[in-house]
Structure 1
Amino acid sequence: MPGAGELRVLRRRIRSVKSTQKITKAMELIAASRINRARRAVEAARPYAVLITEAISSLAVASEVGEHPLIAPHESVRRVGIIVVTSDRGLAGAYNTNVLRRAERLAKEEREAGREVVIYSLGRKAETYFRYRQQAPAASWTGIADQPRFASACEVGDTVMEAYTGSEVDRVWLVYTDFKSAMTQVTAVAQVLPVQPQQFEGGTAYPPQFMFEPGPDDILAELIPRYVQHRIFAGLLEGAASEHASRQRAMKAASDNAGDIIEDLTREANRARQAAITTEISEIVGGAEALSGRK
């Protein structure tokens, strides 16, 4: 029969779970507020992607865009780079697990095709994951996943573009999480390098009265690296929004589970308290009967 000792243990557990629930509830609210900010950043970046693609498409009509070193494919693909976008912090549900699993699957496919894989990690989770598996990243960046900045994307872009033009890698993939909505995020893979020229087909040439200074080729030489940098920046923004959405859901589930545990423990504590009271009453009644029997 449960006693006073067990009742104290149950009450202590209830206080502990309530304390944890306060933390998860606070983290849920913080993540919810950050989702809105991250979603606005994603939406603000999309028009830039559309306009720079249109500009390159129109300039490509008057230029040999396929000869640009970031567009021209290498003769053979022996080494591929994989940029993996994860978070710096945990407690985000399956967000990091899904990205890392997709990156591993892509790396396995490339190795089975006889290619060497080079990892570029964004986020502490990716860096830790690959180092633990003796696959130290060629370059890693931390502290930028939560609130991505374009300058950080430029740094990543410059690194992989230099590796591509220097023939250190022959293709570069980006593995990230595509933010569809607060409830839906999908792991995605996009080819960053070489830039696929099909994206710029069907452009309308600028009218003849337009004069370019410098010429179209020089402008493209500036725009295409910007396009690559923005592609990586978009992946970072999508990943940040997805991370916050995943963390909000995970913390809500944790808060709900804590509530269920508190209810179960409270019922158990009530039963223990009732049993303790019953035991005390029985002892009192038994003592009273024993005293009356002596008279």
Structure 2
Amino acid sequence: MANLKEVKGRITSVISTQQITKAMKMVAAAKLRRSQDRITQMRPFAQKLSSILQNLSSAQGDNSSDAWYSQVREEKKVLIVAISSDRGLCGSFNSNIFKGVLRVIAEKYQSQYDKGNVTILPIGRKAFEFFGKRKVNLVGDYSTLFSNLTFEQAAKAAEFLMTEFQAGRYDKIEIVYNEFKNVATQILRTEQFLPVKPPAQEGKKTSEVDYIYQPDREEIITGLIPKSLKVQLFKGLLDSNASENGARMTAMDKATENAGELLKELKLTYNRTRQAAITKEILEIVAGAEALKSA
């Protein structure tokens, strides 16, 4: 059995840890409120803009000269955007992203990976560190994007992706991220960024949307396509940011509870050890008194 000093030291250590996890939970809760508001406001706009882009892609056809964003090519070279967090202590948030990316490679792009034609663009320091230690091609310098998460910063990353696809350096670009559902639940998503998918038919015939372009069809499409793709990437980043804060808040809440349970056990152990020490001292005193009587 551990002595009183050791148990007391462990109690002090656990109390200190509990105070830290409590503080981290409160910070994550404050950040979650802001990030949740941002993604809630962004999501309807992003979904509608994505729908318009898909309809435009379907209406133009593959032979249109400015339909580079919808050109389906043989998938020889693939780029996967892995969106993680900058810090840990958020449960399985990051590990789910890593497993998701590796699963996508194994299930869809194993032959390309074997030839060295699968590239990862990490967003978030944890993704950069994880894939940097493995035999995976890395590209882009956006691992610290979450340190200043704005639409302008996300737009730069989206412009890089569009340029790479348009130049033919990649035939397909996918994004893997955690979608925010609620504080306790994050949904792992894999979305195709480029080429743009046509609208889902869902087994029914859908009427083609006939747009009236004002002032000019080419000008509208040239401005709308990059805007829509930038918004799509920004939405994924906001989703991931809200999911990270929710996951960290949940993890720190659980850690605080576990620290409380451990404290109960340690205090019980401390009291038992103290009682055993007192009992031992009493027995020694009684034994000494009896010895004196017998002398």
TM-score, normalised via structure 1 length: 0.89
Alignment pair present for 1:267 and 2:268: yes
SS at match of 2:146: coil
SS at match of 2:75: coil
Deviations 1:205-229 (A, max 9, x none): 456xxx722x122211111111111
Alpha-carbon contact 2:183-2:250 (below 8 Å) kept: no
In the alignment of these two chains, the number of paired residues is: 285
Pairing 1:85-124 to 2, within 5 Å after superposition: 85-114=83-112, 116-124=117-125
CA distance 1:57–1:162, change in 2 (3 Å): closer
Instruction: Please state how far the C-alpha of 1:57 moved relative to its aligned partner.
Output: 6.6
Alignment pair present for 1:162 and 2:163: yes
Identity rate, percent? 33
Structure 1 partner of 2:142: 141
Structure 1 partner of 2:126: 125
Which consecutive residues of structure 2, in runs of 5 or more, have no partner in the other structure?
A: none
Instruction: Please state how far the C-alpha of 1:240 moved relative to its aligned partner.
Output: 0.7
Structure 1 partner of 2:258: 257
Q: Select 2:214's aligned residue among 199, 203, 212.
A: 212
Q: Give the Cα separation in 1 of the matches to 2:264 and 2:55.
A: 64
Deviations 1:46-85 (A, max 9, x none): 2322443465477679x736531112222x2200110000
SS at match of 1:223: helix
CA distance 1:54–1:94, change in 2 (3 Å): closer
Q: Give the Cα separation in 1 of the matches to 2:279 and 2:82.
A: 62
Q: Give the Cα separation in 2 of the matches to 1:129 and 1:248.
A: 23
CA distance 1:70–1:104, change in 2 (3 Å): same
> In structure 2, what residue type is equivalent to 1:101?
K
Alpha-carbon contact 2:54-2:199 (below 8 Å) kept: no
SS at match of 1:189: strand
Alignment pair present for 1:29 and 2:26: yes
Alpha-carbon contact 1:178-1:239 (below 8 Å) kept: yes
Pairing 1:138-287 to 2, within 5 Å after superposition: 138-145=139-146, 148-198=149-199, 202=207, 204-205=209-210, 212-213=214-215, 215-287=216-288
Q: Give the Cα separation in 2 of the matches to 1:232 and 1:42.
A: 12
Q: Give the Cα separation in 2 of the matches to 1:30 and 1:174.
A: 28
Alpha-carbon contact 1:99-1:187 (below 8 Å) kept: yes
Q: Give the Cα separation in 1 of the matches to 2:282 and 2:38.
A: 66
Q: Give the Cα separation in 2 of the matches to 1:57 and 1:110.
A: 23
Alpha-carbon contact 2:82-2:120 (below 8 Å) kept: yes
> In structure 2, what residue type is equivalent to 1:164?
F
Q: Give the Cα separation in 1 of the matches to 2:11 and 2:226.
A: 57
- The CA RMSD over aligned residues, in Å, is 2.3
Structure 2 partner of 1:42: 39
Deviations 1:184-206 (A, max 9, x none): 11111000001123269756545
Deviations 1:94-138 (A, max 9, x none): 000001101011122343344621111100111111110132411
User: Which sits farther off after the overlay, 77-86 or 28-37?
Assistant: 28-37
User: Which sits farther off after the overlay, 271-280 or 31-40?
Assistant: 31-40
Structure 1 partner of 2:9: 12
Q: Give the Cα separation in 2 of the matches to 1:35 and 1:256.
A: 20
CA distance 1:30–1:219, change in 2 (3 Å): same
SS at match of 2:81: strand
Instruction: Please state how far the C-alpha of 1:86 moved relative to its aligned partner.
Output: 0.2
Alpha-carbon contact 1:38-1:241 (below 8 Å) kept: yes
Alpha-carbon contact 2:29-2:246 (below 8 Å) kept: yes
Alpha-carbon contact 1:172-1:193 (below 8 Å) kept: yes
Q: Give the Cα separation in 2 of the matches to 1:167 and 1:138.
A: 15
Alpha-carbon contact 2:54-2:197 (below 8 Å) kept: no
CA distance 1:286–1:260, change in 2 (3 Å): same
Q: Give the Cα separation in 2 of the matches to 1:202 and 1:143.
A: 44
